[in-house]
Amino acid sequence: MFDVQAVRQQFPALSEQFDGKPAIFFDNPGGTQVHASVISAMTDYMTRCNANTHGVFATSRRSDVIIDDARQAAADLLGATPAEIVFGNNMTSLTFALGRSLAAEFGPDDEIVVTRLDHDANVWPWVMLAEDTGAQVRWADVDMETCTLDMDHLHSLINERTRLVAVGYASNAVGTINDVKTIVGWARAVGAYSYIDAVQYAPHGLIDVKALDCDFLACSAYKFFGPHVGIQYGKREHLERLRAYRVRPAGEELPGKWETGTKNHEGLAGTAAAIDYIASLGVAYGGAAPTATRRAKLVAAWPVVAEHEQQLIDRLITGLKAIPRVRIYGITNRMEWDRRVATVSIRKEGLTPEALATKLAEQNIFVWNGNFYALSISERLGVEQSGGLVRIGLAHYNTIEEIDRCLAVIDQA
């Protein structure tokens, strides 16, 4: 059985107190808490390995090993090869950089498909690319009742003029998991690129870029218990062919030609540790052998995480439904909860989102309010001008008891 209390002991922040009282971290979609092994790995790097790369001396060589291991770990996480993994500051900066490189292939006769469900980091880089190249932007709509993509509408937008389809794996605002494999197939059928924002999905489920057959996919380590490091997968054929904006000594070898300047070495040490932590769950609870590959351990870990999070979702949504004047945005049908991650957004009649978030914060329950940079869905739902939403984001280290405390405050607010 999954031992959530044993897991919680591995996260130092979860024992922190504020004004003498423990905190409940439901702000996870904005950044999860960091595993102890991540802190240790980053400290160890800065203590024992702190040097730039490709030198002949010991600390430089240690840095090379750390970076290589982080790249292999990220490849294992996504089901890719190390040469297809690009590190950067965050998903947003990586996406803008790729857009700059793709611009040479776009023109006034081309179209780009984005969705009203996505985080703006997977919308505005492509809108700006269209502005720079004269391409046209096509917006895929959402079902307002369930906050899911209107798949028929999206499919109708993809045609022989489509050059890129950008879609999120899961919504950071309302938790919807999108059918990205089908969407990638539609893009591929017309010769268009597919770009997947997996930032919100990465802490909750297994990613397999080869099975998806997507062209590009991005995520961020600070959303899965690690430091602030962006990760971008790109098909090797694209990374080799496209022009990267880089300094001359960087060379053309993959993936270095895409990584601008000195990387966040201590962050990469922490990223590898975060991925290894997730893999350890596959051994502890998923039945993977300690001698299995990292990828095999990760495959075994995610069903364990999903099962616990489904229990949390059940308690949270069932409880919210019982509170008068609370509206839940997104999928609320128990039979469809496998189509959402553990991120639930609400409003309560008579309170602004900021006021409700403040009531929760006064009880050391940390949630986000606003649009969470998912501006388009906030506007589409008609809540942007009145403060957006309150977002309750759960992770595998959260508990039923924490949810019950949160529900009590919402009910009394």
Q: Is residue 120 located within the same domain as residue 26?
A: no
CATH number of the domain that 122 lies in? 3.40.640.10
- Number of structural domains the chain divides into: 2
Q: Is residue 30 located within the same domain as residue 50?
A: no
Domain span holding position 195: 41-274
Report, in this order, helix, strand and coil percent for the chain, each rounded to 5. 50, 15, 35
**Residue 367, phi then psi, degrees to nearest 5:** -135, 165
Domain boundary among 241, 274, 307: 274
Q: Is residue 68 located within the same domain as residue 211?
A: yes
Q: Is residue 166 located within the same domain as residue 266?
A: yes
Q: Is residue 87 located within the same domain as residue 20?
A: no
Distance set, CA 64 to CA 230, 295, 357 (Å)? 19, 22, 44
Q: Residue 391 in contact with residue 173, Cβ under 8 Å?
A: yes
Q: Is residue 321 located within the same domain as residue 270?
A: no
Q: Is residue 22 located within the same domain as residue 110?
A: no
Tokens (6 digits) for 335: 């039979």
Q: Around Cβ 346, how many Cβ atoms within 10 Å?
A: 21
Q: Is residue 26 located within the same domain as residue 82?
A: no
DSSP-derived secondary structure for 47-110: III-S-SS-SSHHHHHHHHHHHHHHHHHHHHHT--GGGEEEES-HHHHHHHHHHHHGGG--TT-
Q: Is residue 64 located within the same domain as residue 13?
A: no
CATH number of the domain that 337 lies in? 3.90.1150.10
Q: Is residue 98 located within the same domain as residue 151?
A: yes
The one-digit pLDDT tens for each residue of the chain (413 residues) are 899 999 999 999 999 999 899 999 999 999 999 999 999 999 999 999 999 999 999 999 999 999 999 999 999 999 999 999 999 999 999 999 999 999 999 999 999 999 999 999 999 999 999 999 999 999 999 999 999 999 999 999 999 999 999 999 999 999 999 999 999 999 999 999 999 999 999 999 999 999 999 999 999 999 999 999 999 999 999 999 999 998 888 888 999 999 988 999 999 999 999 999 999 999 999 999 999 999 999 999 999 999 999 999 999 999 999 999 999 999 999 999 899 999 999 999 999 999 999 999 999 999 999 999 999 999 999 999 999 999 999 999 999 999 999 999 999 99
Q: Is residue 253 located within the same domain as residue 123?
A: yes
pTM over 0.75: yes
